[in-house]
Amino acid sequence: MKLLTGVWKYGPYGDRFKRNHTFQGYSSDFDVFPDIPRDRGEAKTMRVEAIVSDVGGVVVRDDFKSFFAEFEAKIGMSGEAFYALTVGSEEWKLYNKDFINEEELWRTLASKLRVEGEVARELRQWRRMLVPIPETIHILERVRRRYPLYCLSNVDKATTHYLQERYRLYDIFNGTVLSWEVGMRKPEVGIYELVIRRFNLTPERSLYIDDKEPYLVPARQVGFQTIPFRSPEDLEAKLLNHGVEIWVSDRNGKKRERNGD
């Protein structure tokens, strides 16, 4: 797979990506930042100035358990048990941080999975289940007309390439913090602190969206307002409840703001 050429200041994709450089590959261009005071508790509701969103389960569908359930008869265990041995494993966390590559990941997991041959090859095609959620993308594109929009995601390098090359998924964001890029992953508090420092956010005036409650808890601890994602319709309603202005078209096709205040 061909790597993009360039370096970036705020993540590999988004408006700030510099394509005129000749460095081949990826570079994280961030320093070790001082800790931000932790345990701030539930953030007070303040006017939102920036939005940070997860990707898997929010912007793309990533139902691993259902995907693995299709192989239950072939692998001799439930999809949920298979999920625990793969995506839920410590090895997968290392893979998300780019500490091991995909070959090392599957070689390490081989003894646990007890699958081989054609079944093993089919299972390794798991990325085919990752498809965009167009309703969410439409909402975020409208929100971005008024607010800077950033991405915080646990994701490996190959999946980042896959989603960008196939769907241009990261183009909707002004900047990204990806686990493989920074060597940290949610729910580690440090990765939320990095988002704040990298994008110069005031967390109490920033809104974080995620479909997993364990990843929302540390976001609230460092001061973010949060939205648990349930569906695109629910997301839009909750954004409005937070006073977020969303651009919509009236019957004449003219753009106007929909304000939650």
pLDDT in tens, 21-44: 222 333 333 333 334 344 444 445
pLDDT in tens, 212-258: 999 999 999 999 999 999 999 999 999 999 999 998 754 444 455 55
Phi, then psi, of 248 in degrees rounded to 5: -135, 165
Please check the confidence at residue 50 and state whether its pLDDT lies above 60.
Answer: yes
Q: What integer is the mean pLDDT of 54-66?
A: 93
C-beta separation of 21 from 7 below 8 A: yes
Q: What does the pLDDT read at residue 157?
A: 97
SS3 160: helix
Select the more confidently predicted residue: 200 or 20: 200
pLDDT in tens, 109-124: 877 887 778 878 888 8
Q: What integer is the mean pLDDT of 163-182?
A: 97
Please check the confidence at residue 150 and state whether its pLDDT lies above 60.
Answer: yes
190 residue type, one letter: G
Domain spans, the chain: 7-61+132-259, 64-129
Q: What does the pLDDT read at residue 73?
A: 80
What is the strand order of the sheet 225-228 is part of?
175-178, 149-153, 50-53, 206-210, 225-228
77-83: Cβ within 8 A, 24+ apart: 82/113
Q: What integer is the mean pLDDT of 47-61?
A: 97
Please check the confidence at residue 79 and state whether its pLDDT lies above 70.
Answer: yes
Superfamily of domain 7-61+132-259: HAD superfamily/HAD-like (3.40.50.1000)
Q: What does the pLDDT read at residue 22?
A: 26
Q: What does the pLDDT read at residue 226?
A: 98
Please check the confidence at residue 1 and state whether its pLDDT lies above 50.
Answer: no
